[in-house]
Chains A and B, each alone.
Chain A
Amino acid sequence: MSKKITAILLTCIMIITIGMTGCAKPADTAPTASDTIKVGWMGSLTGDQAVWGQCEFNTVKMLFEEINAKGGVLGKQLEAIGYDTKGDPQEAVNVAKRLTSQDKVVAIIGPNASGSAISIASTLEQAKVADIATVATNPKVTVLDGKVKPYNFRVCFIDPYQGAVAAGYAADVLKFKNAAILYDVADDYSQGLAEYFEKTFIEKGGAIVVKEGFKGGDVDFRPQLSKIKAANPDVIFMPYFFKEVALSANQARELGITAALMGGDGWPSDQLITMAKDAVNGSYIVNHLDFDDPEVQDLKTRYKAKYNQDLELNGFLGNDAVLMLVDAIQRAGEVDSEKIAKALETTDIKGVTGTIKIGKDTHNPEGKEAAIIKLVDGKYVFQQKYSPK
């Protein structure tokens, strides 16, 4: 009896799953494909960074709808096909393969995680499809051993630059002499930023009085913070993501640490304000843009009107990635993935996060200035555009 039930259940599951794969396709490979331009998106729809990933995909979908309403690109409609990577490099490879070989997209937007953006490089090269990473700040996303990867691009600045901006601003503008670093030893982004902050800050004549690590997922930072308190720094550099930032900032204030806090583009999120409004008051953030810049208000209100949520950082960079791609398709003059990749190399546009002029040898936006933001009473207050000398 139970065997029978099992057999029936298993058969059901098999039939359902096979049926599902079947129906995922036809919609995409409809004969009208010539009227649409298929663009892939990948990123974290689940997992730690789901908040950002979902916002990014929503932005892309919203912009595509707007562009389509205005007649599309080259007279064709844009279609976004997005899949979840969980922020996992291995899933990212699967997604890249699916997008290029089954959905036959002409270009891919995302992912936001550097690890995922690096691992898909060989798949992109095989398929000759370009990818525009949004918030993947690891230098090795586009350049490896001095050689530029032909199909990898990005719209954001890179970690060495971000670390240098933070250190430069702390040393030159805020005149801090002693800095402490608290970072996530098991996170690529955090390690990178900590390394470059340390390098630049010492070059500028400052001293790193203490450098403490923790492991992603930790919720108690008091042991490390106690050591930091003993070293009495002017500023604590916290290059990790908003959830841990909120926890560690709260605990730092509890322990009576009054030093200024500083962080990178892992900070900006509404979650941070909700969780640690008072603790992060007066902190400095290196960001991709100024949230109050009049030029970005339009995008923010459009997003808010459509999804009734605030636009997160990824949305702004997603917006610029879309602008970059649309510009490249128009200049390529036809929907051909290789020609689009070529056109992307000579991108020179104005996005909401600044001027995006792609360097031919780096595939990074060159000379993009960072925005320094100060947190005042739960508001992101723009200080200045800054690039280190």
Chain B
Amino acid sequence: MDTYVQGILILAGINLMAVLGLSLLTGFTGLFSFGHAGFMAIGGYTAATMTVKFHWPFIPALLMGGLMAALLSVFIGRLTLNLKGDYFCIATLGFGEATRLILDNVQYFGGARGWPGIPNYTTLTNVIFINIIGIIILANLIRSRHGRNMIAVREEELASQIVGINVFKYKMMSLMISASYAGIAGGLMAHYMTFLQPKMFSLIKSTELTIIVIFGGLGSISGSVLGAVVLTALPEVLRSFASWRLVVYGLAVIIIMISRPEGLMGGYEFTPSSMRKLFSRLKKKNITAEGGK
């Protein structure tokens, strides 16, 4: 497989990791976030600090990035999770932008000029491996009692409170797990790009993640997987349109959303066995489409 196709798959994997986290928060707990790029930035800068300045191995550094993002989310969550609906969404938006602007001015990390020279540890193999672990954990979580409680919170907050679910606790749990996924994705990104710049984690990145979740279908892990792969690959596939590329990309997304407002998967899941089949089919398609060149 040539490095271009490999690169796109790695990027799709990185996006998927962040999207999985966001899917838990938005798709299963019903909280919209426009600040996940902020968590990615925290994770990315933490992981890079660990490998570059303290010479940690890759995986512990990634976990540290995830942990750091989770810690910060606890702090943010305490302050904002009591806000309802749109208000929470705006608070996360503020958090994401604030994180980026602070990083823009922390000269220890290179400020807005960026931080070059991060070792290149992210490979296709470890991205796929980490994603599979991420999916398994998430799938099991959602099927557990805690996951069902989160879904109950999404469906009817008041009712779930009345039957004895600690709504705040489950929202917090969901936000924490979600942030740690984003943090790990940020760490992967740092070690793939070998360069970090706060500009990479702008509001556009956050909205891109949210779009992927909605595009794939709220409340569907397989939808997130599909969404991440399709929406990461699509702009690259459209390269032949030159400067019209992003217009076509936007149009394609709009058409799909109009014709399928519930998203690609619309809350349905592939069972593990049929998912495996789909994966191999997608891969084959990719190879014939991209590899033939």
Could you list which residues of chain A lie within 8 angstroms of chain B, going by C-beta atoms?
2, 5-6, 9-10, 13, 17-18, 20-25, 28-29, 45-46, 50, 54, 83-84, 86, 88-90, 93-94, 97-98, 100-102, 114-115, 118-119, 121-123, 126-127, 138, 140, 144-145, 185-188, 190-192, 215
**CA separation between A144 and B116, bound complex, in Å?**
8
**CA separation between A115 and B113, bound complex, in Å?**
7
**Are B101 and A185 interface neighbours, CB within 8 A?**
yes
CB within 8 Å of A: which B19-45 residues: none
**CA separation between A2 and B101, bound complex, in Å?**
45
Tell which of B141-149, B179-187, B230-238 binds the partner: B230-238
**B120 interface residue per 8 A CB criterion:** yes
**Are B105 and A10 interface neighbours, CB within 8 A?**
no
CB within 8 Å of A: which B233-286 residues: 234, 236-243, 245-246, 252, 255-256, 259-260, 285
Instruction: Give the tally of cross-chain contacts (CB within 8 A).
Output: 141
Q: Which of B197, B237, B239, B260 contacts A115 (CB 8 A)?
A: B197
23 interchain pairs (CB within 8 A)? A2-B259, A9-B255, A9-B256, A10-B256, A10-B260, A13-B255, A18-B237, A20-B238, A21-B290, A21-B293, A83-B239, A84-B239, A84-B245, A88-B200, A93-B193, A98-B239, A102-B293, A118-B116, A122-B120, A144-B117, A185-B112, A186-B199, A187-B112
**Are A46 and B260 interface neighbours, CB within 8 A?**
no
**Are A191 and B111 interface neighbours, CB within 8 A?**
yes
**Are B240 and A94 interface neighbours, CB within 8 A?**
no
Shortest distance in angstroms between A32's beta carbon and chain B's nearest beta carbon? 16
**CA separation between A215 and B203, bound complex, in Å?**
14
**CA separation between A50 and B245, bound complex, in Å?**
14
**Are A145 and B117 interface neighbours, CB within 8 A?**
yes
Shortest distance in angstroms between A115's beta carbon and chain B's nearest beta carbon? 5
- Tell me which residues across on chain A come within 8 A of B105, comparing CB atoms: 185
CB within 8 Å of A: which B94-109 residues: 100-101, 104-105
- Tell me which residues across on chain A come within 8 A of B195, comparing CB atoms: 89, 115, 118-119, 121
**Are B259 and A119 interface neighbours, CB within 8 A?**
no
**CA separation between A182 and B234, bound complex, in Å?**
40
Q: Which of B4, B192, B237, B243 contacts A17 (CB 8 A)?
A: B237
**Are B194 and A121 interface neighbours, CB within 8 A?**
yes
**CA separation between A145 and B115, bound complex, in Å?**
11
- Tell me which residues across on chain A come within 8 A of B259, comparing CB atoms: 2, 5-6, 9-10
**Are B112 and A101 interface neighbours, CB within 8 A?**
no
Q: Given A84-B242, A119-B193, A186-B104, do A126 and B8 touch, yes or no (CB 8 Å)?
A: no
Shortest distance in angstroms between B118's beta carbon and chain A's nearest beta carbon? 10
**Are A45 and B256 interface neighbours, CB within 8 A?**
no
- Tell me which residues across on chain B come within 8 A of A119, comparing CB atoms: 116, 193-195, 197
| B118 to A, closest residue via Cβ | A122
| B288 to A, closest residue via Cβ | A18
| B241 to A, closest residue via Cβ | A20
**CA separation between A293 and B125, bound complex, in Å?**
55
- Tell me which residues across on chain A come within 8 A of B113, comparing CB atoms: 114, 138, 140, 188, 191-192
- Name the 9 nearest CB pairs between A and B, nearest first: A25-B293, A188-B113, A101-B2, A119-B195, A97-B4, A24-B240, A97-B7, A101-B3, A188-B112
**Are A20 and B240 interface neighbours, CB within 8 A?**
yes
Q: Which of B198, B199, B246, B293 contacts A24 (CB 8 A)?
A: B293
**CA separation between A252 and B117, bound complex, in Å?**
40
- Tell me which residues across on chain A come within 8 A of B100, comparing CB atoms: 186
- Tell me which residues across on chain A come within 8 A of B241, comparing CB atoms: 20
**CA separation between A388 and B98, bound complex, in Å?**
38
**Are B256 and A17 interface neighbours, CB within 8 A?**
no
**Are B243 and A84 interface neighbours, CB within 8 A?**
yes
- Tell me which residues across on chain B come within 8 A of A121, comparing CB atoms: 116, 194-195
Q: Which of A18, A115, A187, A215 contacts B289 (CB 8 A)?
A: A18
**CA separation between A119 and B114, bound complex, in Å?**
10
**Are B193 and A90 interface neighbours, CB within 8 A?**
yes
**B292 interface residue per 8 A CB criterion:** yes
Q: Which of A21, A89, A100, A127 contacts B197 (CB 8 A)?
A: A89
| B240 to A, closest residue via Cβ | A24
- Tell me which residues across on chain B come within 8 A of A83, comparing CB atoms: 239, 242
**Are B238 and A17 interface neighbours, CB within 8 A?**
yes
Shortest distance in angstroms between A137's beta carbon and chain B's nearest beta carbon? 11
Q: Which of A88, A93, A118 contacts B114 (CB 8 A)?
A: A118
Of B111, B116, B120, B246, most buried by chain A (CB within 10 Å of CB) is B116
| A54 to B, closest residue via Cβ | B243
**Are A94 and B290 interface neighbours, CB within 8 A?**
no
- Tell me which residues across on chain B come within 8 A of A186, comparing CB atoms: 100-101, 104, 112, 198-199
Shortest distance in angstroms between A215's beta carbon and chain B's nearest beta carbon? 7
Shortest distance in angstroms between B253's beta carbon and chain A's nearest beta carbon? 10
- Tell me which residues across on chain B come within 8 A of A192, comparing CB atoms: 113
| B105 to A, closest residue via Cβ | A185
**Are A25 and B114 interface neighbours, CB within 8 A?**
no
- Tell me which residues across on chain B come within 8 A of A88, comparing CB atoms: 199-200
**CA separation between A54 and B197, bound complex, in Å?**
24
**CA separation between A100 and B2, bound complex, in Å?**
10
Q: Given A13-B256, A29-B293, A192-B113, do A18 and B104 touch, yes or no (CB 8 Å)?
A: no
| A25 to B, closest residue via Cβ | B293
Shortest distance in angstroms between A271's beta carbon and chain B's nearest beta carbon? 18
- Tell me which residues across on chain B come within 8 A of A22, comparing CB atoms: 289, 292-293
**B11 interface residue per 8 A CB criterion:** yes
- Tell me which residues across on chain B come within 8 A of A97, comparing CB atoms: 3-4, 6-7
**CA separation between A186 and B234, bound complex, in Å?**
29
- Tell me which residues across on chain B come within 8 A of A191, comparing CB atoms: 111-113
| A147 to B, closest residue via Cβ | B117
**CA separation between A119 and B110, bound complex, in Å?**
14
